[in-house]
Amino acid sequence: MARADRVSRTALSRRLGLMLALLLCLAAATLAWLGQQAQAPLTLETPDTVQILPGDTLALVLDRLADAGRLRHPLAVRAWARLTNRGDRIVAGEYGVSPGTTPARLLADFAAGRVCRYAVRVPEGATFHDALAALWASPVLTNTLRDRGEADIMAALGAPGLPTEGWFLPDTYFVTRGQSDLDVLRRSHAAMQAQLDTLWQMRGPGSATSMADALTLASLVEKETARADERPLVAAVLLNRLRMGMPLQIDSTVIYGLGARFDGNLTRRDLLTPTPHNTYTQRGLPPTPIALPSVASLRAVMNPAAVDYLYFVARGDGSHVFSRTLAEHNQAVDCYQRRLSQRCQS
């Protein structure tokens, strides 16, 4: 009897061992199959996006993908995530998927919050209203400012009393779908303030006497030339004229002051039409900037060229002739603007 019992126990142990081995093989095969499903590319022929709303669960998102024909085995992918300790953590937002994207990669993006980011541009040299229009044209931003006044907007940005014009740094900003126009303006305003603070500490001799004046001067430089080599020269002319009490006589300030009345053709009558921004009829700087200046224009007014020029005139090719005296300037005007002289300055 004892020997029979021992044989029986040995056989049972063998059967149990065999069953355990089979279970382990089955588990390994199952895990391998689950892994295959997690690494199998989504059914996708063109790039697409996946939207996760606040409160969505991983199971709900995977089911949506399956319903859209993008994923064959949502339960398998979810089981793989749990068995491999990927968890169910997902961050709400919009995610990009392209042909070849696997569920495993997508789940990693969900957990890390690698949402789609879109570029929106705050253009250099634009007025504040033109910059707002550019933001409103973006299909991914939420427009919240259409019915808000300028003072209200600046108060919302924590800068009550500042004008809207000029106080936003032109740049490309990356946003997620659903962010607001105010979100972009907040970043742009903070970036401008940071640039002003930094460049003000690095200003050289002959620069503007205040940060606000520097910003206004930079907006004039921005509108007068697009050439990097000329910005410090234009800045020097403006600062020299200010120190001598001469009117700046900048056409772009006249155009800005006319606003919607400007028809695209600047006339002598326009130059003589008084507005707060007309630097032909008003001495000194205009009361506000006239555009959003670039970092290059800010640097130019913080470190103007060490020259005694008082005048400049456009050649017609994007460059300018700079002059020290009115006689030199009139000669350049005759040559490049009136075409009355063959003797042009170099």
Reported as a single tens digit per residue, the pLDDT across 221-253 is: 999 999 999 999 999 999 999 999 999 999 999
Strand partners, 194: none
Give the pLDDT confidence score for residue 335 in this predicted structure.
85
Instruction: Tell me how far the alpha carbon of residue 77 is from its chain's centroid.
Output: 37
Give the pLDDT confidence score for residue 177 in this predicted structure.
92
Record the tokens describing residue 221, joined without a space.
């430089």
Handedness of CA 35, 36, 41, 42 (dihedral sign): negative
CA distance 58 to 86: 11
Give the pLDDT confidence score for residue 13 in this predicted structure.
65
Give the pLDDT confidence score for residue 73 in this predicted structure.
84
Average pLDDT over every residue of 129-137: 94
Give the pLDDT confidence score for residue 115 in this predicted structure.
92
Record the tokens describing residue 58, joined without a space.
């991983």
pLDDT tens digit sequence for 106-129:
888 888 889 999 999 999 999 999
Handedness of CA 337, 242, 238, 290 (dihedral sign): negative
pLDDT tens digit sequence for 210-224:
999 999 999 999 999
Record the tokens describing residue 188, joined without a space.
């742009």
Give the pLDDT confidence score for residue 117 in this predicted structure.
93
Give the pLDDT band (50/70/90) at residue 68: confident
Q: Could you state, in order of their start, the residue ranges of all structural domains in the chain?
A: 26-112, 118-197, 205-309
- pLDDT at 270 exceeding the cut of 90: no
Cα-only R_g, the chain = 34
pLDDT tens digit sequence for 171-203:
999 999 999 999 999 999 999 999 999 999 999
The whole-model pTM stands at 0.80
* Inter-helix orientation angle 74-83/58-67, to 10°: 150
Give the pLDDT confidence score for residue 5 in this predicted structure.
60
Give the pLDDT confidence score for residue 307 in this predicted structure.
95
With H, G, I as helix, E, B as strand and everything else as coil, classify residue 283: coil
Written out in words, the top-level CATH class of the domain with range 26-112 is: alpha beta
Average pLDDT over every residue of 36-43: 76
The count of other CB atoms within 10 Å of the CB of residue 41 is 14
Give the pLDDT confidence score for residue 124 in this predicted structure.
94
pLDDT tens digit sequence for 72-100:
888 888 888 887 877 678 889 899 888 98
Mean pLDDT for the chain? 87
